[in-house]
Amino acid sequence: MSSTSSEETQDEPTEDIENGIAVLPSLDEESQEVTEFGTDQPEHKIRPLNAAILMTVLGVVYGDIGTSPIYAFRSTIMVVSNHHNDLQRWEVFGIVSLIFWALILVVTLKYVTLVMRADHNGEGGILALMSLAQRVTKKTSGKVLLGIVGIAGTCLFFGDGMITPAVSVLSAIEGLEVSIPGIQEFIVPMALIILVALFSMQSKGTEKIGKVFGPVMFLWFSSIGVLGLLQVIQHPFILAALSPHYAISFVIHHEWMAFLALGSVVLAVTGAEALYADMGHFGRNPIRYAWIFFVLPSLTLNYMGQGALVLSHPETVNNPFFYLAPHWLNIPLVILSTFATVIASQAGISGGFSLARQLTQLGYFPRLRVLHTNAEEEGQIYIPDVNHALMLGALLLIVSFRSSEALAAAYGIAVTGTFICTTILSCVVFSKLYKWPVYKVAFIFGLFFCVDIPFFTANALKIPQGGWVPLLLGIGLTIMMTSWNKGRNIIITKRAKGALPIASFLARLPQSKITRVSGTAIFMTPDPSSIPNSLIHNLRHNKVLHDHVLFVTIENLKQPEAEYGHRIAMRQLAPNIFQVIVRYGFMEMPNLPKVLELLKQQPQLDFFDPLQASYFTTREQIVAAAIPQMSKWRMSLFMFMNRNASPVTDFLRIPADRVVELAVRVSI
């Protein structure tokens, strides 16, 4: 069922928020008490630490950083070998030492030890960190600045998610050159075919392929660790590279060239952000234990093995990773590498889906069409628009750059930019939320800035060679998100001025001659203190009101999940008229009919069936006002995004045949 009207209207006022929870406004002294209820799950889930969950962590969390040995050491050592052909022993030691201490400082100390302590109701990731930082910041200007930092880091993360599939798959296929030198011209087409197949599979969901992620990555880490160990056993002198002395000596001696090498060293720590982002799925301990006791030793052995191989056989410098394996094992290693890089790519793609959903919930992105690929797991989703954008970007990158070495220039700046944003937000959280003294914050995070900033600056030098790709993408996405957020805020502020208070409507209702009809009507309203426009237009045009009326507000919280037991706030406003607030965190996927089933628990609504009710919504038609409140180009961008936004009914999963949609014209 559908209906349309077009009028200039005011609607959707600002929300009254207290500690992140919508507050039902006071109507009068005799208004009904608010009833809050929801799921009865415990606030913190206890995740058992066992082999199964550790195996899953390997498959989901460590795909990106686990495939870095394919190209990180080669890219770094090529910086030196391109400068002079005669590689010195201490130079190789210095490169291995730089990579090892990057893993220690950035991944082990910064992310695994410190940043993962900053969870938001058990959830991690840069958006959760941004929410924490904003929560403990009082000044509005500070909140805005932290929001910009968080959004900038998020946009760069999207760039990382686009580049990861391209560089990972391409680097794995390039391993065939070791065994089949003449295959070079077929590498790019093969990589394109694999990526098209990978992105085409996304609509099927990751449940089935996810079952083999863990075992494959366990085999991968075991294999690269053993291959490196064999070289270390043959050339134990490489163990000396674990000393920071060689890293420091390399930097002091080479100066500018060492600075350039940092742009490739950072490739060894790509994927570090995934450790923090996936904390909500697995908890801290499984991620920490998998890193400390398995992933880090395997990576360290492999990097040392590559260093030892280059010293003993300088001719292998062009692709030391694949030369680690005996000739007869090269093809199996390429196949395993391809599987591992596909897994790394899959994690980035799935992360892009989740991130886009979170940005929508936070109000930084228009609603997107979201498909659920698993009836039991809310987090397994597929967003066609995001998938197509990532696929197109990855394919264009491969066609444009044609080699993983060239793509590495585009890779680093996205990673290092996200690192800096995370460090900035962490400073605020640890100083204001965890009450660390200023000197402690300055010393510890100052150390991390001393690592992050040189990494970022070294990669900034690669902007002409490809670093402009994630930078341009990040700037573009930031403009889109801030334009959408600004446009929505203008609409919210404008509509609040002319909204009809709900108390006034209820006071007039008994004296009105409105015809009541059987059934239940649910009127969607963004403001619990005002009458929704859909009700006003329904009365104006249809002149009827249902026997049972629910005013439903969806409250998007600036926290990962709604607090358990507080999913719904409900009260009775008048006989058979109810006010309902449904709360969702930014990491949750709304399903309004499913949540409204909980209303049956209340005696006043034991008859209620959300699948038989009529849902009244409004659809906005945005037009430019006589005196626009946005610049012309921002207005055009906002209107384009609004036109292409998915209907709110699809986003909330309301049955299409139960919706009555009324169009309203809004000028801004």
Residue with tokens 């090529």: 78
> What does the pLDDT read at residue 344?
80
Query: Which residues of the chain have a pLDDT value below 50?
Result: 1-31, 40-46
Please tell me the distance from the alpha carbon of residue 344 to that of residue 349, in angstroms, as a whole number: 9
CB 29 within 8 A of CB 565: no
Instruction: Look at residue 520 and give its three-state secondary structure.
Output: strand
Q: What is the pLDDT of residue 424?
A: 95
**Exposure letters 543-562 (e unless 16+ CB within 10 A, then b):** eebbebbbbbbbbbbbbbbb
Instruction: Round to whole Å and give the CA distance between 30 and 358.
Output: 39
Q: What is the DSSP letter of 112?
A: I
State pLDDT tens for residues 503-532.
888 888 887 778 888 889 999 888 888 888
Distances in whole angstroms, Cα of residue 453 to Cα of each of 259, 272, 423, 447: 11, 16, 10, 10
CA distances from 665 to 440, 543, 575, 635, 647 (A): 54, 21, 32, 15, 16
What pLDDT, on the 0 to 100 scale, is given for residue 446?
Answer: 94
Phi, psi of 608 (to 5 degrees): -70, 135
Q: Round to whole Å and give the CA distance between 58 and 275.
A: 11
Helix axis angle for 207-234 and 330-362, nearest 10°, is 130
Of 310, 311, 430, the closest CA to residue 322 belongs to 310
Give the residue among 198, 160, 190, 202 at the shortest CA–CA distance from 65. 160
Q: Is the separation of the CB atoms in 652 and 606 below 8 Å?
A: no
**Beta carbons of 212 and 290 less than 8 angstroms apart:** no
- Condensed to tens digits (0 to 9), the pLDDT of residues 208-255 reads 555 677 889 999 999 999 999 999 999 999 999 999 999 999 999 988
Would you state the pLDDT for residue 615? 92
